[in-house]
Amino acid sequence: MVTTPGHASAGKRHKRRLTLHYGYVFPAVVMFVLFVAYPILWVIGESLRGSSSSHRSDFVGLNHYWQLFQDPVFWQVLLNMFLWGLITIPVQMVVGGTIAYLIETYTTRSKTFFRVMFFLPVITSVSVVSIVWSQMYAPYYGIIQQYAKAVGVQLTTSPLGDPNLVIYALIVVNIWQWTGFSMIMYVAGLTNIPTELWDAAKIDGAHGWKLATRVIIPLLTPVTRSLLLLGVIGTLQTFPIVYLMSDGGPDHASEIFGTYIFKQGFVIGDIGYASALSTVTLIIALALSMIQIVAFGARLNPNRESLV
């Protein structure tokens, strides 16, 4: 077959386009390998060694994982993470969605003000949030104590010092700080609903609760599913609030993956065991994310109404 000059020039243009496309992708691949793939593989490798902060010992196989599942603190951590996700994710979505609906439906000129006010805790420093709420939880002069006195209850200790209450006290702080994120997501979803649908629903007699349950909530399903996925990931990434307010105590009652991994790796110096904990956390995060993506992934596109 004879190659004509036209075919040769077309082939060269195709190669140049491929080279250009690979050139665009190459920096992202390098960043992924250096800052995602390599650290993950390094942590997995360290979890199979008896390494510490002072030296690296020989290959120990799955000993750290066997130790992990025999560790009662690990099971306490799992329970705390389960409670954290079970309470914070639905409460933040329901409260955030309700606030967004009220702002978009019943306010006119002051929409921006209310959006900013409810979103402000999200962008507030975690250190500031932790200090303020720790003072509010203080047993003798905190605002919680003042309200307790008003109803005839005398608090002798802070909720942060009570093993039965500490995890719930921290969950309240997390909900307060991050509900604004759910609110702004729902605001974005509400503003994307065509005004024609609002008008048609109102003409058909949908108002108040009926409008919310029959029209708004179904149309916001993609946002809800996105928040569910982000909430699960955020739950497993929780660290600053717990570390600053309770440090996982008392007696590991508020211990979570982040604080326990930090203590094992940087306080005790058991890098191998901390790496095993990190690997298990990664596996849990991947498993939960994949389950949600498989179950809801095809429905996350709001333009595919037949799947919603």
pLDDT in tens, 201-223: 777 777 777 777 778 888 899 99
> Is 29 a member of any domain?
no
For residue 176, the model assigns a pLDDT of: 96
Q: How confident is the model at residue 6 (pLDDT cuts 50, 70, 90)?
A: low
Write down the mean pLDDT value for the chain: 85
> Is 46 a member of any domain?
no
CB atoms near residue 39 (< 10 Å) = 11
Q: How confident is the model at residue 274 (pLDDT cuts 50, 70, 90)?
A: very high
For residue 52, the model assigns a pLDDT of: 67
For residue 200, the model assigns a pLDDT of: 80
> Is 201 a member of any domain?
yes
195 or 8: whose pLDDT is higher? 195
Sign of CA dihedral 180, 182, 185, 191: negative
> Is 88 a member of any domain?
yes
> Is 81 a member of any domain?
yes
Structural domain count of the chain: 1
* Rounded distance between C-alpha atoms, residue 15 and residue 240, angstroms: 49
Question: What's the maximum distance between 2 C-alpha atoms anywhere in the chain?
Answer: 98
Give percent of the chain above pLDDT 90: 50
pLDDT at position 5 over 70? no
> Is 7 a member of any domain?
no
Instruction: For residues 8-17, give the mean pLDDT.
Output: 73
- List the CATH number of the domain containing 180: 1.10.3720.10
- Residue 59: helix, strand or coil by DSSP? strand
> Is 51 a member of any domain?
no
Question: Please, are residues 160 and 137 in contact by the beta-carbon 8 Å criterion?
Answer: yes
- Quick one: tokens of 21? 């496309």
pLDDT digits (tens, 9 = 90+) for 127-146: 999 999 999 998 778 888 78
> Is 17 a member of any domain?
no
Instruction: For residues 100-114, give the mean pLDDT.
Output: 85
Specify the pTM: 0.85
For residue 179, the model assigns a pLDDT of: 96
Question: Please, are residues 136 and 142 in contact by the beta-carbon 8 Å criterion?
Answer: yes
Residue-number span of the structural domain to which 96 is assigned = 72-307
